Every structure is written in C-alpha cells, then in structure tokens.
Amino acid sequence: MTSPRRSKTSSPASPSSSENTPIARYSSTATSTPFVPVRSGLERPPTSPQTIASPLFLLNLKAYPGHLGPGAERTARLLEELGRAHGVAVAIAPATPDLARVASAVAIPVLAQHVDPIDSGAHTGFVPAEALQASGAWGSLVNHSEHPLSAVDVRDAVQRLAALGLAAVVCARNVAAARRLALARPAFLAVEPPELIGGDRSVSTARPEVVRGAVSAVEAVAPKTRVLCGAGVHDRRDVAKALELGSSGVLVASAVTRAHDARVAIEELLSGF
C-alpha cells in the first residue's frame, strides 16, 4: 500500500516541540501538585502549548486487556488520584480509540501512543496530529519500538505536533539514536532499549550507561528536551536510579498493565520520586 503523501508545509525551520512545550520542574517532595488546567469534554487544547511537568511518570497502557475502554478510564482516574497524593507529575497514553474518553475524564495530560506524519484528509486508518488535537490529547508518543518511524518521519511528526501546541515524546533505542532523534527537539525523549521492554530488568539498573549517555547526548544537541527512562522499570529502586542518572522521569507500561493490582504497582513506582 502506498503511504499517503505528506504536505510540504513542514520544514526544518518549523517551530520545535521543546521550544513550544514549556516543561515546568518542581520538587517531588512538594506537598501540593503542580497546577494542571482542567478541560471539559472534547474541548480542543489552545494553540499555545500545554505544560507537562517533570520529573514525569508516564504510563503507556498499550493495548493490554483490562486497560481498554472503561478500563482505560479507570486506570487514568487512579493514576490522577495517586499522582496528586504523591505530589508527582503523571501522564497517561491510552489506546487511540480511548483518547477522547480518557481526556474528557481526567485533568492530567493524556497522550496518544502514535501519530502519523500526514495532513488530515483522505487517509483511512491513519492518525494525523489534528485528530489527536480534536480528541483532547496533549501530544503523542513518537517512534515507539513497537511502532517505529524513519528519522525523517520522526522529525515531521514532532513538527506537526508542535505546530498545534502538542507535545512529542520521542522514543530512542540507544544513545546514538537518542542523539540523532533529539535534533527534532521534542519535549521529551524516552530512551528504551527494545530488548529490555516488558522484561524484569530495568535499563536504569541493568544498563545505567545507556541512561547516562542519553542524557548527555540529548543535552548537547537539544538542551530543552527532557530525557525519560523506559524499558523494564518495575519498582521504586528503578525509578530512583533513573532520576539519579539524570533522567527527568520514567516511561512505564507492563509494570502496571500486567500487575495483579494496578494501585499497588503505581504506588510502588511513585514512591521512587
């Protein structure tokens, strides 16, 4: 199948996501949670960018049973409750069909799991940035190892999101990829070695040099881009180690989505901030 033609309006000179998505830092020991604007229903985000605070706990629900439809909404409400209780900035990435439902149910940032670098229009089955904006999403993951894009498409996707005031969380498999993809200047870059995703070993403890190296590499080319640590993050020790290595938070999936008790799993991870 031929990929849909992309508009030529996007260019390297387009505004970048990290420049247009301010990142508010605050202490994880604070007694109050950061201000998050509440949006009702399917109200579109304003053209000015949303603020996603860091250090950040970003939960990717993927397409796990129990976290789809009503389950996605329940998990989002739970994450919002526990994030507020722990004073930690939290965000969630539900499956695409659940974006509007979740975005209308909670005030925390809701991100898509994927965006296609195309214009809105006659593109059946694709997800343009305009569709995410209309759903109430705050942005999107880009280039997850389970839904990869070319470097050119990553840059295009980041620029298209930024043009709508939406944040990009670009995923990179190693330090070299992090350095290369950071040139797109996304709001966040998550370093996730694919071999550790869904496993029992966290990249922060099994391969700390990857996290440390990614932080240095990204800072050198895109100092406003925040680095998240992903792949195998399971408990408070993994989170604390990731922050110690210089990351601005974690990207988590299976530690919560495959847990017997999501509340217990989230509480454990938030305790590492």
Residues designated catalytic: 144, 192
DSSP 36: -
DSSP 97-160: GGHHHHHTT-SS-BEES---SS-SSS-TT---HHHHHHHT--EEEES-TTS---HHHHHHHHHH
Residues 223, 101: Cα–Cα separation, whole Å: 34
Look-up of token digits 């603020």: 51
DSSP 97: G
Alpha carbon 182 to chain centroid distance?
A: 15
